[in-house]
Chains A and B, each alone.
Chain A
Amino acid sequence: MVDKLNHDGSIIAVEHVNFFYGTFKALTDIHMLFKKNAVTALIGPSGCGKSTLLRLLNRMNDLIDGTRVEGRVYFEGLNMYDPNIDPVEIRKKIGMVFQKPNPFPKSIYNNIVYGPKLTGMNNKNDLNALVEKTLKQSVLWDEVKDILDQSALRLSGGQQQRLCIARALAMNPDVLLMDEPTSALDPISTAKIEELIDELKTDYTIIIVTHNMQQAARVSDETGFFYLGKLIEYNETKKIFTKPDLKQTEDYITGRFG
C-alpha cells in the first residue's frame, strides 16, 4: 500500500492502523486525516472502536496490558509510535477530556496548576494568570473565581467537566481529545460544553467521540462513522448528515440501527 496521505492542512494523520487487545482486533486498517483547527466527530455504535482510536491518538492505550498497534500515527509529521518517541511528550501536546469528569481530589486551583507545575512552571504570578486564563477559556471563571481553594469535588458535574477542560488547556496543547465529554452531564451543562467546543476550535484542534447524533451534527465540521472497528465513511459533517455516500451510514444516523 503506497497511498501515503497528503498531510497538508492536517495535524494528525492515521495511516493503516490496526489495533489489538490481545488477539482481538479492535481497529482494522484505519486511514484518516484530522484537520487543524476543526472539530472532528467520531460516531458509531458501542464497541465500534471510536474510543479506542481516540485513546490511540495520545497513546493512552499504552496503559492497557496486552495491546498492540500496527501502522503509523503522525502528529505534525512525526510518527508518534516510533520507539524513540516519549509518549509523555505527545500527551503534553495532545490533551484529553474523559467521559466522566475526573478532577483530582485537590482544590480547583491546584487541579489546574498540577500539570504546569510539574513541567517546571513555578512563578506564582504566571500560575495565577494561567488559572484565570484557562478558567475563562472554559467559561468557568465567573462561577469559581471566589472559591479557587475549595475542593474540585464539590463542584457540579458540568462544572467539574469544564474544570477538566481548563486543566487540559493549562498544558497549552495543540489538540484536545474528548471522549464522550457530555455523556454524564445534564442537558444545560451539555449545552455549555458544546458552546465551549465551538469557541475553542479557533485555537485548538478538537476530536470528539460522541454517542449523540445531534451533538455530532451541532458541533463538528468533519464526521467519521465507525462500525465493527472499521472507518465506514469520513466526510464533512454537513454531507454525512444530509446525504451520506453509504446506505449503512444513513441507516445509523437515522436510527435504524445502533
Chain B
Amino acid sequence: MKWRYFKQHLFFWIVKASIALIALSLGGLLVYIFVHGFSALSWDFLTEPPRDAMTKGGIMPAILGTFYLMTGAIIVALPLGVMSAVYLSEYSKQNRILRTIRIGINCLAGVPSVVFGLFGLGLFVVYLKFGSSILSGSLTLGILILPTIIGASEEALKSVPQTFREASLALGVSKWQTIYRIVLPNALPGILTGSILGLGRAAGETAPIMFTAAAFFTAKLPTSIFDEVMALPYHIYVLATAGTRIEETRPIQYGTALVLIALVLGIDLIAILFRSYMRRRKSW
C-alpha cells in the first residue's frame, strides 16, 4: 500500500516539476529580455528612425512596418477565414469534399513558415510582380494565419446552440438570414478572439516576410502598399546576425525584442482576457 502511494507522490512531483519548468522558462525569458531591453527603451527609441548605420536612433519605421503588415494580413485572412468557417460549419455535409477541404486546411496549417516565404516570393513578388512590398508580405502572412482564423471561427460557430438555428428556421426565416442574423452575431466574440490571436501571430513571424516584404533599412517611410518596409522581427534578426557591429547594436536588439514581445504577447493577452470575459458573460 505504501509503495502505491509513494509512486503516486513521485509521479505528481514530476508532473508538477514539468509545469514549473514551462512557467519558469517563459518567465525567465521574459524577465531577461525585459531587464536588458528596458534600458534601451525611451520615447525617442519608439518614435525615431535609426541613425548612424543602425547603431543609434530608434525603431519607429519597424514598428510602423509591422503594424502595416499585420493589418494587411488580417484584411486578407479575416473575410476568407470567416466565410470558409461558415461553409464548413453551416453548409457542408459530411462527405468526401468536406474531408478534402479539412485535410487541405490542416496541411496548410502545417506548412513551414519559410515555405510560405518562398511561395510568396515565387507568386506575389516575382510572378505577379508586386515586388518585395507590404502587399506581398500581407498576402503571404494572410495565408499563413488563414487556418488559425478558420479554426477559431469554426469553433465559435459550432458553439452557437443548435436551438437558436432551429428557432429561427422554424419561424420561416431563410438559412442565410439565420446565419447572418443569429449565428454570426452570437459567434462574433469567438471569431474576434481568433482574429486577435492571428494578428499576434502575423506580427511575430519573420521567415515569411524575409523575401516578400522586409527591408534591412528604408530611408523613407512607405507611401504605398508597393513599398518595402522594415519590420520588428526582421530588425532583430538582421541586427543580431549580420554586419560587423553586432555587439555595438546589442542594446537596440534587446530593445526591439522587448517591443516585439510586448506587442505580440500584449495582443495575445488581450485575446485571452477578452475570451474569458465573454465566457463569463455568456448567458447560454
Contact = CB atoms under 8 A, between A and B. Distances in A.
Contacts of A63: 165-166, 169
Contacts of B168: 104, 114-115
Interface string A98-117: 10101111000000001100
Interface in A83-126: 88-93, 95-96, 98, 100, 102-105, 114-115, 118-119
A140 interface: no
B164 A114 contact: no
A153 interface: yes
Contact of B171 (A114, A151, A153): A114
B164 A153 contact: no
A102 B186 contact: no
B189 to A, nearest CB: 12
Contacts, number: 71
B181 A91 contact: no
Given A102-B164, A105-B283, A151-B283, A115 B171 contact: yes
A26 B103 CA distance: 34
Residue of B167, B170, B177, B283 with most chain A CB atoms under a 10 A cut-off: B170
A91 B172 contact: yes
A167 interface: yes
Residue of B161, B171, B284 with most chain A CB atoms under a 10 A cut-off: B171
A138 interface: no
A115 B182 contact: no
Residue of B172, B177, B181 with most chain A CB atoms under a 10 A cut-off: B172
Given A118-B177, A153-B284, A168 B164 contact: no
A205 interface: no
A102 B163 contact: yes
Given A65-B94, A100-B163, A118-B181, A91 B284 contact: no
Closest 7 CB pairs of A and B: A92-B172, A96-B170, A115-B171, A102-B163, A91-B172, A153-B283, A102-B167
17 contacts: A60-B169, A60-B170, A63-B165, A88-B169, A91-B169, A91-B171, A91-B172, A95-B171, A98-B167, A100-B163, A102-B161, A102-B164, A104-B167, A153-B283, A164-B167, A167-B167, A168-B171
Given A88-B173, A102-B167, 18 more contacts: A63-B169, A65-B94, A91-B170, A91-B172, A95-B170, A95-B171, A96-B166, A98-B166, A98-B167, A102-B163, A104-B164, A105-B283, A115-B168, A115-B172, A164-B167, A168-B170, A168-B171, A171-B172
